[in-house]
Amino acid sequence: MNTSKARSAILQRLRDAQQRPASEKEAEIAAARAYLQQHAAGPQPALGGAAQAAADGERAALIAYFCQQALKMGDTLAQVPTLDAVPAEVARYLQENALPPTMQIWPQFASLAWQAAGVEISLAPAPRSQRMDYAQSLTGAFCAVAETGSLLLTSSVATPVSSAILPETHIAIVQESRIVAYMEQAFTLLQAEQAEQAGLPRTATFISGPSRTGDIEQTIVLGAHGPYRVHVILIPN
């Protein structure tokens, strides 16, 4: 269902009630951006000195801090030398965890040597009726946040976030150059790279380890509302 017309009508009624003409939209956006630029971020943890080291051009400590936090969140990690090495790492991970060699992947990774690695692939997004048929998925990540060990995924036709939420096993490719220290930096990067081009994505999803819940007797259960496993593959700059 296309709700854009209804949304526009609701927003227009709000503008009319506030006596705000639609022509002021650009000025309001500019004012909001100016406000954000003038107000610095709040207090931030030092991340064991990793944040300052990264600001000084030394990123090794920041990458190590991200790995430390991601492991705390329950992720597993692997580092490969190039993107071309990803299929072999995926095959190794699936075999190690006794998982079938099948994978739903984002289209941007379709050209990798999956057949040689013995992994059968299908491209995301899957038809709605088949979205629960895939137990394993491979996605990229817009960036990663060292402070919390989180991944940030943004949605588009070619990068459906459902690929990271519905399967039991989520494998994510992260470029080490896309690891930022703080969540605020992730939003700044998002604003700089996407908002000025095609506009902000419909969703921006932070993923911090496997899904978990403690609803029943405060016992932590993995995979209740999302992936049971999250495996992060790091690629050097």
**Tens of pLDDT, residues 150-168:** 999 999 988 999 899 989 9
Q: What is the pLDDT of residue 230?
A: 97
Q: Which amino acid is at 98?
A: A
pLDDT, mean of residues 43-53: 82
Q: Is the peptide bond before 125 cis (omega within 30 degrees of 0)?
A: yes
All residues at 6 or more sequence positions from 232 whose CB lies less than 8 Å from its CB, including other chains: 70, 75, 76, 77, 78, 144, 151, 171, 172, 174
Stated pTM of the model: 0.81
**Tens of pLDDT, residues 96-112:** 999 999 999 999 999 99
Whether the predicted pLDDT of 62 surpasses 80: yes
Mean pLDDT of the chain: 87
Q: What is the pLDDT of residue 191?
A: 86
CA angle at 229 for the pair 88 and 167, rounded to the nearest 5°: 90
CA angle at 42 for the pair 51 and 68, rounded to the nearest 5°: 35
Q: What is the pLDDT of residue 196?
A: 64
Whether the predicted pLDDT of 141 surpasses 90: yes
Q: What is the pLDDT of residue 40?
A: 63
Nearest to 224 by CA among 210, 206, 236: 210
Q: Mean pLDDT lowest for which of 120-124, 135-139, 192-196?
A: 192-196
Nearest to 166 by CA among 137, 191, 146: 137
Alpha-carbon distance 89 to 79, whole Å?
Answer: 9
CA distances from 166 to 89, 111, 159, 173, 231 (A): 22, 24, 14, 17, 15
Beta-carbon neighbour count of residue 215 at 10 Å?
Answer: 10
Nearest to 178 by CA among 59, 72, 84, 95: 59
Percent of the chain with pLDDT over 90: 53
Alpha helices in 57-180 (DSSP H): 60-72, 86-96, 114-117, 162-165
Give residue 219's pLDDT band: very low, low, confident or very high (50, 70, 90). confident
**Tens of pLDDT, residues 20-41:** 766 667 777 788 778 877 776 7
Alpha-carbon distance 139 to 96, whole Å?
Answer: 20
Q: What b-and-e string marks burial along 16-51, b requiring 16 or more CB atoms within 10 Å of the CB?
A: eeeeeeeeeeeeeeeeeeeeeeeeeeeeeeebeebb
Q: Do the beta carbons of residue 87 and residue 113 sit within 8 Å?
A: yes
3-class state of residue 159 by DSSP: coil
Q: What b-and-e string marks burial along 72-101, b requiring 16 or more CB atoms within 10 Å of the CB?
A: ebbbbbeebeeeebbbbbbbebbeeeeeee
